[in-house]
Chains A and B, each alone.
Chain A
Amino acid sequence: MENRPLEYDYTVTKMFMLTTIILGIVGMLIGVVLAFQMAYPELNLVLGEGLAEYTNFSRLRPLHTDAVIFGFTLSGIFSTWYYVGQRVLKVSMAESGFLMFIGKLHFWLYLVGVAAVVVSLFLGITTSKEYAEFEWPIDIAIVVVWVLFGISIFGLIGIRREKSLYISIWYYIATFLGIAMLYLFNNMEIPTILGESAAGESGIGAWYHSVSMYAGTNDAMVQWWYGHNAVAFGFTVPIVAMIYYFLPKESGQAIYSYKLSLLSFWGLMFVYLWAGGHHLLYSTVPDWVQTMGSIFSVILILPSWGSAINMLLTMKGEWQQVAASPLIKFMILASTFYMFSTLEGPIQAIKSVNAIAHFTDWIVGHVHDGTLGWVGFMIMAALFHMAPRVFKREIYSKSLMATQFWIQTLGIVLYFTSMWIAGITQGMMWRAHDEFGNLAYSFIDTVTILHPYYTIRGVGGLLYLVGFLMFSYNIYKTMSARPVEESELQSASPMGA
């Protein structure tokens, strides 16, 4: 027994892998529909006039963002947690009936939450706050799901054999704490059924409706403190957790520098939260908050690039692996896009650049080179790495994987280049004056000119979706088509054999 490696229990990992794929397809499909609706508005009626209310751009838009954030990404985070957590803490879920129960409950309640979100957003039940659209009953459910995630993390840490916490665990802990704090404070709201009329009536109107505890400028401050850092603790921190585990594992290389990971981690923790103000430049929030937001956004390059450089240098002397293995390709491109995105963001946060960029498609482009390139690629790479170990089968097709990589990379490039041009074009046209000091363009001029870019963006998004379907098929075939290995593959690359 002593000399045999631990057998880990991947029940919950598998469950969340499934939702990662399904919600990924749903979210990205809606995204592609939205992209083409902007190029061809007739598509708002894609299912006919009768269903127009539910297929309309404005109803679908929050569904897209929430499906990819809270569906695809969050499932990916949970799925990798239930895999990485056991392995680096050297303890199996099977050793604790309690943690197994919590893990499964976590999954099923999460699924209930997802269903509630989908129904409510289709019906237009929303608080309007971006990535925090859910009304109070769903908020409560989300808090419960999050607490279960926390119990899983700290429960597993509590029974660990490896005393020292690996870097990935730092990031998972930070994800849990960060999101918990942000979500709670941003969703402070009062249900309107509490209002009582002079005639003594109460419980009036829709039971699920609520009103924010903050008004106007304060509401905006809290929302973007949340909104920006939901990106931090949803799209950055847990994804860094993944790459710190999966890249060394897959490449067989040790992390380049422990000191650099220390600096990056604590730097990121300290700096990120200040940067929310860059969403509110030239708004009515106090000037000093805007300036702080701008400055800290630029400082944020340091810890972000710290992690990314640490990853790239981990490959030192082993660069031939990038050519040989599609899985390494995914991870190296992911960290490259992370560097790219974390340089682009600070540039947009500089006040004079922001004056042009804000409210335009350049911001949309920035979000997507981060999410498609960094988050999407890293989560897919993680699933590709986990699948052979979890299902005890080799990856179905390596060539399908390589093709997928190039199709999706092309998709991302089309996406962000078209959005750069669209955003800067529109930003410049809005502010253009003629020789007499009058506005040079009416607003509609700045819309119609974007048509070709919207079309290119739609094609880019479609390519990414096609790649994602190839990924789903590859994982599906891995699960079902190949014979089962006798025991878990201990160190073999999924590319081997």
Chain B
Amino acid sequence: MFHWLEKHPFFFAVGVFLTVAFAGLVTILPNFAQSSRPVIGTAPYSTLELAGRHVYIKNSCNACHSQLVRPFKSETDRYGHYSLSGEYAYDRPFLWGSKRTGPDLMRVGNYRTTDWHENHMKDPSGVVPGSIMPAYRWMFTNAADIDTAFAEQLTVAQFFSVPYNKPVPMRDGSTMVVKMGSSLADANVLALAEAKVIVEDMKDQDVKDAVANGKIPEIVALIAYLNSLK
């Protein structure tokens, strides 16, 4: 058979393809629907949080920080409850990372605050002596891309039925509604309102002024995102 295949490239290629493709189908398909179901208490990202997530991705934070707490005592002691599949239901793309040069950030919103992040992003080793993380000072001046975040919300609501403007069940039995703007202008108003809450806890006067003038620096969006990780 093999000798015959080696003289018939078409059938050889088909044979290789089937041999290769088989495993993917068997491992990925069976649990596909189940794995994408959200757990109770998981809500979609707001416009500002999503813009912050884009800042996180733009700067490859995931190259050094994981967002996956493994079910070991040492990890739950350090980072909190181990990760559940449904907690990632609104993560497109997933940001588990593959290297922990810095600590895990899956639940960083539980134990770090806005002002901690502000100081840390400006001067990491000033906050954590010995840290090898670089400073991210340009985030204090670059503007966050709210428009693209809004476009992404619209896209996931449309194509994947992500529940924006709909009640989402919370762990205490209540419900929560994550608002999405009805127009681009509306989305920017919503994001700015969120940003104002964040800058109340910040010290940087330039950032405060920018938000007062209706502009949102990247750092504000990033902190909104990091605070949402719980």
CB within 8 Å of B: which residues of A?
Answer: 37-38, 41, 44-45, 49, 52-53, 56-59, 61-62, 124-130, 154, 157, 163-165, 170, 173-174, 177-178, 181, 185, 190-199, 201, 204-206, 209, 211-212, 214-223, 225, 262, 266, 269-270, 272-274, 276-277, 279, 282-286, 289, 292-293, 296, 355, 358-361, 363-364, 430-433, 438-439, 443-444, 447-448
Contact call A216/B89, Cβ cutoff below 8 A: yes
The interface centre, meaning the residue of A157, A196, A215, A360 with most chain B CB atoms within 10 A of its CB, is A215
Q: By the criterion CB–CB under 8 Å, are A215 and B184 in contact?
A: no
Interface string of B193-215 (1 = CB under 8 A from A): 00000000000000000000000
CB of A359 within 8 A of CB of B98, answer: yes
Q: Which of B55-95 contact A (CB under 8 A)?
A: 57-64, 66, 68, 70-75, 77-78, 83-95
Please give the distance in Å from A447's CB to the nearest CB on chain B. 6
**Chain B interface size, under 10 / 10 to 19 / 20 to 34 / 35 or more:** 35 or more
Give the docked Cα–Cα distance between A94 and B87 (Å).
Answer: 58
Bound Cα distance from A273 to B23, whole angstroms: 6
Which residue of A185, A220, A279 has the most chain B CB atoms within 10 A of its CB atom?
A220
Within the complex, the shortest CB–CB distance from B78 to chain A, in Å, comes to 6
Q: Are A62 and B12 also in contact (CB < 8 A) when A289-B31, A363-B99 are?
A: no
Query: Which residues of chain B (1-49) have a CB below 8 Å from chain A?
Result: 2-3, 6-7, 9, 12-13, 16-17, 19-24, 27-28, 30-32, 35-36
Question: Does B59 contact A61, Cβ atoms closer than 8 Å?
Answer: no
The verdict on B153 contacting chain A, using a C-beta distance below 8 Å, is: yes
Q: Which of B109-117, B143-151, B168-176, B220-228 contacts A (4 or more CB under 8 A)?
A: B143-151
Asked if A165 contacts B74 (CB within 8 A), the reply is no
Q: Give the chain B neighbours of A225 by CB distance below 8 A.
A: 24, 27-28
Interface of A is mostly: helix
Compute how far the CA of A194 lies from the CA of B154 in the bound complex, rounded to whole angstroms. Answer: 9
Nearest-CB residue, chain B, relative to A158: B9
Q: Is B229 located at the chain interface by the 8 A CB criterion?
A: no
| Extra A-B contacts (13), CB below 8 Å, given A126-B58, A170-B6, A215-B36 | A37-B134, A52-B137, A127-B57, A205-B148, A205-B150, A205-B151, A216-B36, A270-B20, A282-B71, A359-B97, A359-B100, A430-B78, A443-B102
Q: Check A173–B28 contact: CB distance below 8 A.
A: no
- Listed from nearest, the 5 A-B pairs whose CB atoms lie closest are A216-B88, A195-B154, A205-B148, A199-B183, A273-B23
Task: Write out the residue numbers on chain B whose beta carbons fall within 8 Å of the beta carbon of A154.
Answer: 9, 13
Contact B88 A192 (CB under 8 A): no
Contact A292 B183 (CB under 8 A): no
- CB of A375, distance to nearest CB on chain B (Å): 19
- Cβ A284 vs Cβ B147 within 8 A: no
Question: Residues of B contacting A219 with CB < 8 Å?
Answer: 88, 91-94
A-B contact pairs, 7 of them (CB 8 A): A41-B125, A206-B147, A214-B92, A215-B94, A284-B68, A363-B98, A439-B74
